[in-house]
Amino acid sequence: MNITVAIEFALGSLLALVAGTAAAADFADITVISSLDFGTWQSGGSLSATLSTCVASADTNNPNPRGSANNYPYIIKVDSLDGPGFTLYKDGNSGYTGDQVISIGFEHRDILDQTAYETLQPGIYDQHLHDGLFKNCTGSGSNSEFRISINQSELAQKQDGVYEGQFRATILGGESGVASDFEDFVVNLTISGNSGSNSVKISRLNDAAFAPFAGSGDRSWDEHFCIYSGAASGAYRLTVSSLNQDSSGVFRLKHASIAEYLPFTVAFEDSGVGTATSPLGVNPVSGLGDSSAEDCSGLDNATLTFSVSEQDMAQVSSGFYNDTLVLVVEPE
What tens digit of pLDDT does each residue of 209-261 get?
999 999 999 999 999 999 998 776 789 999 999 999 998 999 999 999 999 99
Domain shared by 169 and 293, yes or no: no
Domain with 163, as residue range(s), is 4-194
Q: Are residues 215 and 255 in the same domain?
A: yes
Q: pTM of the prediction? A: 0.58
User: What is the rounded CA–CA span in Å between residue 33 and residue 182?
Assistant: 10
Q: Are residues 184 and 62 in the same domain?
A: yes
Do 228 and 175 reside in the same domain of the chain?
no
pLDDT range class, residue 105, cuts 50, 70, 90: very high
Strand partners, 40: 190
Maximum distance among all Cα pairs of the chain, rounded to whole angstroms: 107
Spell out the residues 6+ positions from residue 24 whose beta carbon is closer than 8 angstroms to its own.
none
Residues in CB range of 172: below 8 A, 6 or more apart = 8, 11, 12, 15, 28, 74, 75, 76, 125, 178, 179, 180
Looking at residue 107, its amino acid is E
- Where among 194, 228, 261 does a domain terminate? 194
Asked if residue 79 lies in contact with residue 95, where contact means CB atoms within 8 angstroms, the answer is no
pLDDT on residue 196: 55
Contact 226, 204 (CB under 8 A): yes
Map residue 213 onto helix, strand or coil.
coil
Is residue 28 a contact partner of residue 174, using CB atoms and an 8 Å limit?
yes
The per-residue pLDDT for 13 is 35
Sheet-wide strand order for 325-331: 285-288, 235-242, 325-331
Task: Tell me how far apart the alpha carbons of residues 312 and 263 are, in angstroms, rounded to a whole number.
Answer: 7
Average pLDDT, the chain: 88
d(CA 237, CA 328): 8
Q: pLDDT digits over 249-265, tens only? A: 999 999 999 999 999 99
Of 148, 116, 111, 118, the closest CA to residue 132 belongs to 111
At residue 176 the predicted structure's pLDDT band, cuts being 50, 70 and 90, is: very high
- Written as one string, the DSSP assignment of 287-317 is EE-BSS-TTGGG---EEEEEEE-HHHHHTS-
Q: Does residue 5 have a pLDDT over 70?
A: no
At 79, the amino acid letter reads D
By CB atoms closer than 10 A (0-12, 13-18, 19+), residue 179 is buried
pLDDT level of residue 6 (50, 70, 90 thresholds)? very low
Shared-domain flag, residues 143 and 33 = yes
Q: What is the pLDDT of residues 57-77, one digit of tens each?
A: 999 999 988 778 999 999 999
32 shares a domain with 170: yes
Q: Do 223 and 145 fall into the same domain? A: no
**Listed residue (32, 8, 63, 24) closest to 175, CA to CA:** 24
Residue 14: φ, ψ to 5°: -65, -40
CATH number at residue 275: 2.60.40.1090
> Which CATH number goes with the domain that contains 179?
2.60.40.2910
Are 145 and 230 members of one domain? no
Which sign does the torsion angle of CA 196, 197, 203, 207 carry? negative
Domain boundary, last residue among 132, 167, 194: 194
Do both 40 and 128 map to the same domain?
A: yes
Report the number of distinct structural domains present in the chain: 2
Residue 88 φ then ψ, to 5°: -105, 140
Give the pLDDT score at 195.
56
Q: Are residues 253 and 302 in the same domain?
A: yes
Kindly provide the b/e burial profile for residues 207-244, where b requires at least 16 CB atoms within 10 angstroms of the residue's own CB.
Answer: ebebeebeeeeebbbbbbbbbbbbbeebbbbbebbbeb
Pairing state of beta strands 36-41 and 179-191? parallel
What would the pLDDT profile of 282-327 be if each residue is shown by its tens digit?
899 999 999 878 889 999 999 999 999 999 999 999 999 999 999 9
